[in-house]
Amino acid sequence: MTSQLDTLNRWVDDVARLTQPDSIHWCDGSDAENRALIAQMERDGTLIALNPETHPNCWLHRSHPSDVARVEHLTLVCTKNKEDAGPNNHWMEPAEAHAKIDALFAGCMRGRTLYVVPYCMGPIDSPIARCGVEITDSPYVVANMRIMTRMGAPALARIERESAEAAARGEQPAFVKGLHSIGELDPEKRFIMHFPEELTIKSIGSGYGGNALLGKKCHALRIGSFQAKSEGWLAEHMLIVGIENPQGETHYVAAAFPSACGKTNLSMLIPPEGYRAKGWKVWTIGDDICWMTPGEDGRLWAINPEAGYFGVAPGTSKSTNPNALATIQRDTIYTNVAVTADNQPWWEGLPGTPVTDWQGRPYDPKNGPAAHPNSRFTVSARQCPSWSAQAEAAQGVPISAIVFGGRRPSLVPLVFEARDWAHGVLVGAAMGSETTAAATGAVGVLRRDSMAMKPFCGYNYGDYFAHWLSFDRPGAQLPKIFHVNWFRKGADGKFLWPGFGDNLRVLEWIIDRCKGEAGAQDTPIGFVPGKRDLHLEGLDLDDQALDTLLGVDAAGWNAELADIGRYLDSFGARAPAALKAEQRRVADALARDEAPVRKAVAG
């Protein structure tokens, strides 16, 4: 390694002295390296080859039953000042945290190989992209990081170049350092620690992707959000989708949803037949994470920092997401799915019958679902039928609209537009979902998940809201902000909106609002489409259903705004005064108008 990588080399040496591996391997990301790692994992049982006729170059990985998901209570943000982490994070003082986790790292790689994984989050030549290096003792992690990031020699070359530039400015290299070990896979010795002020991540005791693929949630969101605040951009838990109309215009939408709200389905949406016939197309840029930065033209430009999808398998089928299902028929790593008699991956919702469950046991319904509810697939984004080459554009794509959404069976309309940027930030801060019977605890309890970032914001939510507000400055050409709710129910408890491909009807209205070409009704909560503002041809929706979907219940919204006020107060002095003023403005408008008179407005 050259002198420009002295910082990296010293860190690798320090980690090796601490963890005591048998050998060290610097990953170059080559096909030959990947084949060797796959063969090694097949020999030791880490990966099991699936049916080569139906699923060529696909493998199954079974994780330990105690290691199947993210562990929020063991995920820490370690800042010098506890208030900087905020009430939205679990906190530990940095020196204490380093000492605690380093004691677990001591000697943990004996008998194993230490892999050095240089990676780039985002297109390798993008100024919006950021680099990192993950040290791990898991070849499974290496294979997944190769799919999920731009990993290997090109990333190392960029780190070297940026290190030289930093040295010329008298600065330290700014790549993110991530240290991971599966350790003993002991839940009592499991921590995922983030040190935003040091651009450092330390994770031990888990091999699960969300805890072990450190480029994903750990870097791209928790550390990334802190970097973004410091550098003037946004790192968000959002999909990016391009909507191409019959005139050949493509508008890009970034959208944030909590879990179980159809995020991946929306990112890979297939237009209804009538829309396809007219020439509408949908392009997938990203399904999970979005980095946005102001461009010279004042617009927000976005990249998907990831190169692959780490998606939830259950719920993926021909009826729910045919694009996702087509994507994962080859060159895919499956984790914790079931297997059929002819060695095909299986989960609830697919045809066929499982013979072996996710733990490798003969399938017995008494043991629960055949596939783990959080079972996953890891696959290159380029394999998606709706993938767009603009996902590799160095400058990113310009964002026309930002959409927030949640699972709200009542109160919240199908779609509404925020009045301006400050109102939009309030809409995002207030978003959330009501609990369902699938969750433990009471049903119908609203859990707020601001911008869908509650588990992922690497600093105080109050400061995060202030950072969002800071983008509204002279010369900015900011996206319009909207809120959608696909989950409104009628009196019979059934969903009123068909969802899936028909969500394009709502996206069409959103894009037309951005272009100034669609009408709306002016209400205290924002602009809501009238019955004639949405294109509903071919849908079996009666007037009563439409009235419910587009209705604004002033009394219900008064209670909602009061609860939003209490939520903002929970962040104390860090809650921006401007956001609290916006909450009061909307509350006052509702209080003045218990039975809102809708006023039609032009596009």
| Residue ranges per structural domain of the chain | 3-47+68-232, 239-307+390-597, 309-381
Q: Is 229 annotated as contributing to ligand binding?
A: no
- Angle at CA of residue 415, ends 475 and 220, nearest 5°: 60
Instruction: Count CB-CB contacts under 10 A for residue 275.
Output: 21
**DSSP H/E element including 513:** helix 503-515
- Crossing angle of helices 421-430 and 577-592, in 10° steps, is 90
- Please tell me whether 288 is known to bind a ligand: yes
The conformation of residue 382, written as its DSSP 8-state character, comes to G
Reduced to 3 states (helix: H, G, I; strand: E, B; else coil), residue 515 is helix
Right CATH for 3-47+68-232 from 3.40.50.150, 1.50.10.20, 3.40.449.10, 3.30.450.40? 3.40.449.10
Q: Give the span between the Cα atoms of 502 and 530, in whole angstroms.
A: 17
Structural domain 239-307+390-597, CATH architecture: Alpha-Beta Complex (3.90)
514 three-state secondary structure: helix
Q: Facing residues of 292 across strands?
A: 234, 302
Q: 460 among the known binding-site residues?
A: no
Residue 362 DSSP symbol: B
407 is in an annotated binding site: yes
Consult the annotation and say whether 538 binds a ligand: no
- Separation CA 449–CA 257 (nearest Å): 9
585 is in an annotated binding site: no
- Residue 260 labeled ligand binder: yes
The 3-class secondary structure across 213-275, one letter per residue, is: CCHHHHHHHHHHHHHHHHHCCEEECCEEEEEECCCCCEEEEEEECCCCCCHHHHHCCCCCHHH
Dihedral, CA of residue 451, residue 197, residue 68 and residue 18, to nearest 10: 170
Which one of the listed residues 27, 218, 261, 384 is annotated catalytic?
261
Give me the pLDDT at residue 70, please: 87
The answer to whether 416 and 401 have CB atoms below 8 angstroms apart is no
Amino acid letter, 85 = A
First to last CA, the chain: 59
pLDDT of residue 261: 86
Looking at domain 309-381, which CATH architecture does it have?
Answer: Beta Complex (2.170)
Was 406 annotated as part of a binding site? no
pLDDT at 437: 46
Distance set, CA 42 to CA 29, 51, 536 (Å) = 19, 14, 52
> What pLDDT score does 172 carry?
86
Chain centroid to CA 17: 35
Alpha-carbon distance of 505 to 502, in angstroms, equals 6
How confident is the model at residue 440, as a pLDDT?
A: 45
Active site residue 27: no
Query: What span, in angstroms and rounded, lies between the C-alpha atoms of 237 and 261?
Result: 13
Question: What is the torsional sign of CA 336, 341, 345, 351?
Answer: negative
Whether 219 has a binding-site annotation, put simply, is no
**286 annotated ligand-binding residue:** no
3-class DSSP state of 534: coil
Query: 415 forms bridges with which residues in the sheet?
Result: 484
Q: Is 372 annotated as a binding residue?
A: no
Q: Is 366 annotated as a binding residue?
A: no
Q: How buried is residue 178: exposed, middle or buried, by Cβ count under 10 Å (0-12/13-18/19+)?
A: buried
Q: Do domains 3-47+68-232 and 239-307+390-597 have the same CATH topology?
A: no
For the chain, list residues with pLDDT below 70.
1-3, 436-443, 594-600, 602-603
pLDDT the model gives residue 302: 98
> For residue 262, what pLDDT is reported?
86
Contact 164, 4 (CB under 8 A): yes
pLDDT at residue 438, rounded to an integer: 43
Write down the number of H helices and E strands in the chain.
17, 31
What is the pLDDT, as a whole number, of residue 593?
72
263 annotated binding-site participant: yes
